[in-house]
């Protein structure tokens, strides 16, 4: 299934996002240096860049707390320790979809299993 191949672990996704933020922030500050002739523009670029870098730090701290809450499991596919967030997540190393819910085992992998609405619809059955 093509969908499973592109799915990566949530923690990895957030980490990538934080990394992009850092680079975007640095790029913005660099743009600030390039536009130093126009003072107000330089200040805007610098403030935006700084905000992005600060925000990425916040995201990194958030990842830290998230991975504390995440359940450590050993991936059945590659035998490496990984961490799970929510009812379904993917292995950080081999992207093997993992589930905490026995009912979902063997079913097609889907992000919707993490949604509250899905859990509700399951209860009604």
Tokens 């009604």, residue located: 124
DSSP 31-57: HHHHTTTSHHHHHHHHHHHHHHHHHHH
Which of the stretches 41-49, 59-67, 85-93, 103-111 binds Zn ion when contact is defined by CB under 5 A?
A: 85-93
- Least distance in angstroms from the C-beta of 4 to Zn ion: 13
Regarding 77 and contact with Zn ion (CB under 5 A), the answer is: yes
- Least distance in angstroms from the C-beta of 119 to Zn ion: 25
Q: What are phi and psi of 75, to 5 degrees?
A: -65, 130
Site size for Zn ion (CB under 5 A): 7
Interacting positions 8-67 with Zn ion (CB under 5 A): none
- Least distance in angstroms from the C-beta of 83 to Zn ion: 11
Tokens 């991975």, residue located: 67
8 A C-beta contact, residue 25 and residue 56: yes
The residues of the shown chain that bind Zn ion, judged by CB under 5 A, are 75, 77-78, 91, 93-94, 96
């Amino acid at each position: 299934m093509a969908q499973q191949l592109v799915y990566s672990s949530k923690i990895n996704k957030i980490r990538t996002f934080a990394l992009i933020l850092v680079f975007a922030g640095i790029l913005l500050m660099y743009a600030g240096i390039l536009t130093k002739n126009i003072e107000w523009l330089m200040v805007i670029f610098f403030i935006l860049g700084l905000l992005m870098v600060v925000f990425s730090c916040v995201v990194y701290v958030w990842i830290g707390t998230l991975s504390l809450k995440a359940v450590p499991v050993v991936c059945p596919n590659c035998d490496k320790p990984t961490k799970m967030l929510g009812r379904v997540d993917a292995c950080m190393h081999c992207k093997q979809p993992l589930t905490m819910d026995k009912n979902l085992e063997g079913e097609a992998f889907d992000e919707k299993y993490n949604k509250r609405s899905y859990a509700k619809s399951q209860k009604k059955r």
